[in-house]
Amino acid sequence: MQRLLLGLVTLFVVSIIIFVAVNALPGDFAEAILGQGATPEAVNAIREQLGLNQNAVTRYFSWLAGAIRGDLGVPLSQALFAGNFGTTAVGTDVTTVVDQIIPRLKNTLFLAGVSAAISVPLAVTLGVLTALYRNTAFDKSMNVTTLSAISSPEFFIAYILILFLAVLNPVFPSLSNIFPGMEFSERLTRTMLPALTLTLAVTAQMMRMTRAAIINLLASPYIEMARLKGLSPMRVIVKHALPNALAPIITVIALNLAFLVTGVVVVEVVFVYPGIGQLFVDSVKIRDIPVVQACCLIFAAVYILLNLTADILSIISNPRLRHPK
Amino acid sequence: MRKDVFQGTLGALIAFTVLAGICVLLAVNWASLGLFLTAFLAVLGLLSAAYLFRMVGRAATGNAPFFRDMPFGVAFGYVLAAVLVVFGVWYFFQPTDTDGVPRAGVIFFRWAVQGFLIFAVAAFLFRLLGRSVGTEGSRKLFRSMPLTAAFGILIILIYAVVSIFAGVIAPYGQEEILGAANIVPGGNPAIGGNPDYPLGTDQIGRDILSRLIFGAQNTVGIAFVTTCLAFLLGGTLGFLAATLGGWLDQLLSRMVDALMAIPALIFALLLITIATAWAGSASWQVTIYMILIIAVIDSTRVFRLSRAVGQNIVVMDYIEAAKLRGEGLPYLIFREMLPNAYAPLLAEFGLRFCFVFLTIASLSFLGVGIQPPLADWGTMVRDLSQFINFAAFAPNVAVAPLLAAGAIALLTVAVNFVVDWMLHKSSGLKE
């Protein structure tokens, strides 16, 4: 309960930070966007559109209330359009920020889900195997491979995968142009390359943590006992060490899932995947502040939510924390 | 009873995963049925080969302990490794073209293997050199060094030399537009290369080799400056918070907590957008903003670490003694705390540098980082990325974007290898 409250407070503070970062600029924001040659009418229209003629606290709370209701305002491109023609965009049939974000958020969650479905079982299996065969050639080569995978930029992994799985051996398409109403299998095929890229990026971290968490426990007396009972090494690790190592493993999995949702930006750009990361980068380039602000809030919310989940799950998985004295 | 339940659950779980995988594969493509059957038969063959290998080994050596106590998984590993090595050697010696059409897979495989071998030999020689030349201390250091760490140090040295002397080494200028565009890397005139431009030229005729070398100066230099700034800011505040404690510590820690709740790359993009919208978007301005913004964001991570390290040191007796001697705050921080926090901070510096470097490369790749005409690896990857689609019939052309991306990856891998070794050494872990 306390943790939930703390998470909510963090989210609240983060929303303030994002708002202040956007709004605390000296000078008028409307003029900054429109540049030198702006007509007074256009500046006024933008001001009215963004509610810039009210004071900052009022604006913050109306923005926050809107965000909770699911109303994140109108993209600047629309507002600009309206501003140039001297009308306000409210009331006419414009695409709001939410209209832009929702379908793309669904796509991004699909991509993250597919990569999680591949990477989590893979990482835990490999982690157990490297812990079992530690300090062998297998373990050392896995160590070098994962270190390289962690430290390579995502676009390098992405282009290597494109080279081998799309260009040289055309297994998957290199462009992930998915659209609504697509067959599931087709959608999965087109999502496969970005999903594999993300898998490579996150599996290594999770695997190394799993290995480290298990090996940390191997010096414990109860592991010694299990060995002395004559249990096989595999059984000692899977049955006796793994359940006790669950808390750090769950934490690192949740952290990496958070990375999946936020780290999609580069991958989506490489594969032209129509997700929220792509929208974010495009908006950054044309400086569409309302969209950037909204995307940022969503990313931060997902990030905080997953961190919170990690906290709660690691408490649940540990009886000593579940029943504090 | 419990054993049975456990084994049953495990078996059911594995069977379920395999079945689910097959279903997904079939849902993707019915044609993958054949692929799946081949893979299944291959795994089955490997399993029986492993069993056979262990049996023959036991029979041939008169039940030697090595074979007698070998688990099945280990036998399987040996057989798998042997098959992979044999396949690799066979594939390596395949002809590089069939009737004049290049076989890109073989060519890339050869390059990869050759590169790997060259780096391994270079690292080995470098370690040998380090073991025989230098002071007693440095020789001792090299004696206990794994090959990966030697490789890392070698690469870092090379990058440092290249980035410092870029102007001297590079054959052309980074913005210089030369005669012909789109010259193929490799310098072979028969396939559209030119020996004057060993790595070819890009779409508007700039020499790729020169741009790579200047890219080392720009990208690595900017990342280094940013990391130093982040350490100056985060380290100072962290030590201050640890030494003074009280409300300052509380205030700074809560601020850092809040800042760290926003993902770094996202926050950087947001701040860069605001900065450019507010104060103009000339290319040098964007670069300055990027340095400052990333330095501030990363300093929060440095703050966390240096505060934690500092708090452990502050309670030591020698700090108490220094306080009783009446030493001032600067003396406490620089003469007593900093030398004792050296090892973790140095390792953190390496990791932080990697993060900053990758963030800058990603930002440049997205088009909001280091701006043209400055040569930069992230931008080069984005500009040249289209060439990768020609890989099937012109392998040389496809190398251009991978070179820049590979240059980024090589440095971060090298730094990570060194940091990994340092952490291992300082933690004194044996397992």
Q: Where are the domains of chain A?
A: 2-92, 105-322
B interface test, pick of A18, A31, A151, A231 with most B CB neighbours within 10 Å: A151
Of A137, A192, A299, the CB nearest to B263: A299
The larger pLDDT score, comparing residue A156 to residue A27, is at A156
Q: Do A132 and B405 touch (CB under 8 A)?
A: no
Q: Take residue B240 and report the two structure tokens written for it.
A: 């201050």
Q: How would residue A35 be classed by pLDDT, with cut points 50, 70 and 90?
A: low
Contacts A22 to B, Cβ<8 Å: 270, 274
Contact of A234 with chain B, judged by CB distance below 8 Å, is answered with: yes
Q: Take residue A120 and report the two structure tokens written for it.
A: 């989590």
Lowest mean pLDDT among A104-108, A287-291, B48-52, B409-413: A287-291
Asked if B151 and B115 count as a contact pair (C-beta separation under 8 A), the reply is no
Asked if A190 and A178 count as a contact pair (C-beta separation under 8 A), the reply is yes
Q: Tell me the Cα Rg of chain A.
A: 24
> Which of A286-295, A297-306, B366-375 reaches the highest mean pLDDT?
A297-306
Q: Do A280 and B269 touch (CB under 8 A)?
A: yes
Whole-number Å distance between alpha carbons of B351 and B419: 7
Of B27, B270, B417, the CB nearest to A21: B270
pLDDT at A71: 65
Contact of B421 with chain A, judged by CB distance below 8 Å, is answered with: no
Q: Do A262 and B71 touch (CB under 8 A)?
A: no
The larger pLDDT score, comparing residue A264 to residue B279, is at A264
Contacts A156 to B, Cβ<8 Å: 381, 402, 405-406, 408-409
pLDDT in tens, B106-140: 888 888 888 889 989 998 998 888 888 878 888 88
pLDDT at B430: 44
pLDDT at A94 over 70: no
Contact of B259 with chain A, judged by CB distance below 8 Å, is answered with: yes
Asked if A114 and A191 count as a contact pair (C-beta separation under 8 A), the reply is yes
Lowest mean pLDDT among A9-23, A76-90, B145-159, B252-266: A76-90
Of B17, B77, B258, the CB nearest to A121: B17
Task: Give the closest-approach CA distance of A89 to chain B in angstroms.
Answer: 22
pLDDT at A69: 67
List B345's β-bridge partners, or say none: none
Average pLDDT, chain B: 81
pLDDT at B24 over 80: no
Lowest mean pLDDT among B221-230, B276-285, B301-310, B370-379: B276-285
Whole-number Å distance between alpha carbons of B402 and B400: 6
Query: What interhelical angle do B147-164 and B104-132 show, nearest 10?
Result: 90
| Percentage of chain A exceeding pLDDT 90 | 0
pLDDT in tens, B295-336: 999 999 899 888 888 888 888 888 888 888 888 888 888 888
pLDDT at B70: 80
Whole-number Å distance between alpha carbons of B145 and B165: 28
Task: Give the closest-approach CA distance of A323 to chain B in angstroms.
Answer: 26
pLDDT at B226 over 90: yes
Average pLDDT, chain A: 77
Q: Take residue A22 and report the two structure tokens written for it.
A: 């956007």
Lowest mean pLDDT among A110-124, A280-294, B2-16, B85-99: B2-16
Q: How would residue B431 be classed by pLDDT, with cut points 50, 70 and 90?
A: very low
Judge if the upstream peptide bond of residue A75 is cis by omega within 30 degrees of 0: no
List own/partner pairs for A236-242 with CB under 8 A and 24 or more apart. Answer: A237/A128, A237/A131, A237/A132, A238/A128, A238/B10, A239/B6, A241/A131, A241/A214, A241/A217, A242/A128, A242/A214
Task: Give the closest-approach CA distance of A160 to chain B in angstroms.
Answer: 8
State the first-to-last Cα distance of chain A, in angstroms, to the nearest integer: 17
Buried b (16+ CB within 10 A) or exposed e, A9-29: ebbebbbebbbebbbeeeeeb
pLDDT at B138: 82
The larger pLDDT score, comparing residue B101 to residue B37, is at B37
SS (H, E, C) chain B: CHHHHHHHHHHHHHHHHHHHHHHHHHHHCCCHHHHHHHHHHHHHHHHHHHHHHHHHHHHHCCCCHHHHCCCHHHHHHHHHHHHHHHHHHHHHCCCCEECCEECHHHHHHHHHHHHHHHHHHHHHHHHHHHHHCCCHHHHHHHHCCCHHHHHHHHHHHHHHHHHHCHHHHCCCCCCCCCCCCCCCCCCCHHHCCCCCCCCCECCCCCEHHHHHHHHHHHHHHHHHHHHHHHHHHHHHHHHHHHHHCHHHHHHHHHHHHHHHCCCHHHHHHHHHHHHHHHHCCCHHHHHHHHHHHHHHHHHHHHHHHHHHHHHHHHCCHHHHHHHHCCCCHHHHHHHHHHHHCHHHHHHHHHHHHHHHHHHHHHHHHHCCCCCCCCCCHHHHHHHHHHHHHHCCCCHHHHHHHHHHHHHHHHHHHHHHHHHHHHHHHHHCCCC
Whole-number Å distance between alpha carbons of B29 and B31: 5
pLDDT at B231: 92
Does residue A75 sit in helix, strand or coil? Answer: coil
Q: How would residue B233 be classed by pLDDT, with cut points 50, 70 and 90?
A: very high
The larger pLDDT score, comparing residue A325 to residue B84, is at B84
Q: How would residue B205 be classed by pLDDT, with cut points 50, 70 and 90?
A: confident
Q: How would residue A315 be classed by pLDDT, with cut points 50, 70 and 90?
A: confident
pLDDT at B409 over 60: yes
Whole-number Å distance between alpha carbons of B91 and B78: 20
Mean per-residue pLDDT for A54-73?
69
Q: Do A151 and B266 touch (CB under 8 A)?
A: no
Output the CA–CA distances (angstroms, integers) from residue B180 to A4, A40, B205, B214, B374, in the order listed: 62, 49, 5, 20, 20
Mean per-residue pLDDT for B3-11?
62
pLDDT in tens, B46-70: 888 988 888 888 888 888 888 888 8
pLDDT in tens, A191-205: 888 888 888 888 888
pLDDT at B230 over 90: yes
Complex-level ipTM beyond the 0.90 threshold? no
The larger pLDDT score, comparing residue B186 to residue A108, is at A108
Of B29, B267, B367, the CB nearest to A285: B367
Asked if B92 and B113 count as a contact pair (C-beta separation under 8 A), the reply is yes
Instruction: Tell me the one-letter amino acid at A159.
Output: Y
Lowest mean pLDDT among A25-39, A143-157, A186-200: A25-39
Q: Do A162 and B388 touch (CB under 8 A)?
A: yes
Task: Give the closest-approach CA distance of B177 to chain A in angstroms.
Answer: 27
* Cβ-based burial of B41 (10 A; exposed 0-12, middle 13-18, buried ≥19): exposed
pLDDT at A76 over 70: no
Task: Give residues 156 to 215 of B whose Cβ lies within 8 Å of A.
Answer: none
Q: Take residue A123 and report the two structure tokens written for it.
A: 């990482």
Helix (H) or strand (E) holding A279: helix A276-286
Per DSSP, the residues of A247-269 read HHHHHHHHHHHHHHHHTHHHHHH
Asked if B395 and B108 count as a contact pair (C-beta separation under 8 A), the reply is yes
Q: Do B405 and A155 touch (CB under 8 A)?
A: yes
Mean per-residue pLDDT for A18-40?
63
Contact of B77 with chain A, judged by CB distance below 8 Å, is answered with: yes
C-alpha neighbours within 13 Å on the C-beta side of residue B264: 21
Q: Do B409 and A185 touch (CB under 8 A)?
A: no
Task: Give the closest-approach CA distance of A255 to chain B in angstroms.
Answer: 11
Q: What kind of fold does domain A105-322 have according to CATH?
A: MetI-like fold (1.10.3720)
Q: Do A14 and B262 touch (CB under 8 A)?
A: yes
- Give the residue among B41, B426, B367 at the shortest CA–CA distance from A266: B367
Task: Give the closest-approach CA distance of B388 to chain A in angstroms.
Answer: 7
Contacts A299 to B, Cβ<8 Å: 262-263, 266
Q: Take residue B333 and report the two structure tokens written for it.
A: 């921080």
Contacts B271 to A, Cβ<8 Å: 21
The larger pLDDT score, comparing residue A178 to residue B2, is at A178
Q: What sign does the dihedral B94-B96-B102-B103 (CA atoms) show? A: positive
Contact of B85 with chain A, judged by CB distance below 8 Å, is answered with: no
Mean per-residue pLDDT for B390-413?
81
pLDDT at B228: 94
Instruction: Tell me the one-letter amino acid at A46.
Output: I
Q: Take residue A321 and report the two structure tokens written for it.
A: 């924390």
pLDDT at B6: 59
Task: Give the closest-approach CA distance of B330 to chain A in angstroms.
Answer: 33
Lowest mean pLDDT among A98-112, A159-173, A271-285, B229-243: A159-173
Contacts B10 to A, Cβ<8 Å: 238
Output the CA–CA distances (angstroms, integers) from residue A90 to A73, A75, A87, in the order listed: 9, 11, 9
A interface test, pick of B2, B36, B257, B269 with most A CB neighbours within 10 Å: B269
Phi, psi of A135 (to 5 degrees): 65, 20
Output the CA–CA distances (angstroms, integers) from residue B153 to A221, B126, B130, B419, in the order listed: 40, 9, 11, 10
- Residue of chain A nearest B429, judged by CA positions: A216
pLDDT at A75: 65
Q: Do A133 and B262 touch (CB under 8 A)?
A: no
